[in-house]
Amino acid sequence: MLPLCADQGVGVLPWSPLARGRLTRDWGTVTDRSAHDDFGGRLYLESDRAIVEAVTRIAAERGVPRARVALAWLLHQDTVAAPIVGAAKPHHVEDAVAAVGLELSDKEIEELQQPYTPRAVSGH
């Protein structure tokens, strides 16, 4: 959707920029929320594991939390005006603010977006 928005001059406020927390923890980790989130369970596919692994690898190499890498990637997208970040703890705000200053290389950006597979999501 981001290329279409860029083409049409539309700004984006991404919802759930951390993929309901999936980008901040190991793939397959079950939380209280994910255990009862039927809609969220339909949003992500096994193919998304590669994205989580890329976030994990880059965060480890950089020595920063995964959330910072995921948000930094989002902020590198020309159409993104600001992500909608749900902050339940002080470090969530700290990571969101710090992501603004995290410059990702072209190689890192490619590693993060290459595995993504566009798809339609229907039903709530």
Domain ranges of the chain: 2-26+45-113
pTM for this entry: 0.84
pLDDT in tens, 47-92: 889 999 999 999 999 999 999 999 999 999 989 988 888 888 899 9
Burial label for 34, CB within 10 Å (0-12, 13-18, 19+), is middle
pLDDT on residue 49? 92
Q: Which residues of 1-25 are buried (b: 16+ CB within 10 A; e: fewer)?
A: eeeeeeeeeeebebeebbbbbbbbb
pLDDT in tens, 87-101: 888 999 999 999 999
